[in-house]
Amino acid sequence: MRAWYFDNLPGAPGLPHDSPPSNPVTSEALATLNVRCLSIPVEGYEAKINDIARERDYKSRDTIDISRAGLGEAYEAKIKGFFQEHMHEDEEIRYVLSGGGYFDVREAPTDAWIRLALEPGDLLVLPAGIYHRLALDDAESIHLLRLFQNEPKWTAYNRGPDTEVNPERIGYLRSVGVGA
Domain edges within the chain: 2-175
- Residue 76 labeled ligand binder: no
pLDDT of residue 180: 59
Per residue in 63-86, pLDDT tens? 999 999 999 999 999 999 999 999
CATH number of 2-175: 2.60.120.10
The pTM of this model reads 0.94
Measured distance CA(34)–CA(31) in Å, rounded: 5
User: Does 119 score more than 80 pLDDT?
Assistant: yes
Per residue in 120-169, pLDDT tens? 999 999 999 999 999 999 999 999 999 998 877 778 999 999 999 999 99
DSSP for 58-108 reads --EEEEEEEEHHHHGGGHHHHHHHHHS-EE-SS-EEEEEEEE-EEEEEE-T
pLDDT of residue 138: 92
User: Does 112 score more than 80 pLDDT?
Assistant: yes
In the sheet that 101-106 helps form, which strands lie side by side, from edge to edge? 2-5, 113-118, 101-106, 132-136, 86-87, 157-158
Handedness of CA 108, 110, 113, 116 (dihedral sign): negative
pLDDT of residue 154: 73
**CB-CB contact of 25 with 35 (8 Å):** no
Question: Strands 86-87, 60-67: parallel, antiparallel or unpaired by DSSP?
Answer: unpaired
Measured distance CA(44)–CA(105) in Å, rounded: 29
Q: Where are the beta strands (DSSP E) in the chain?
A: 2-5, 36-39, 60-67, 86-87, 92-99, 101-106, 113-118, 122-126, 132-136, 141-148, 157-158
Per residue in 20-68, pLDDT tens? 899 999 999 999 999 999 999 999 999 999 999 999 999 999 999 999 9
Q: What contacts 112, CB < 8 A, 6 or more positions away?
A: 5, 6, 106
pLDDT of residue 179: 76
- Residue 17 labeled ligand binder: no
pLDDT of residue 149: 86
Q: What average pLDDT does the chain have? A: 95
Compute the CA torsion angle 50, 52, 57, 58 (nearest 10 deg): -60
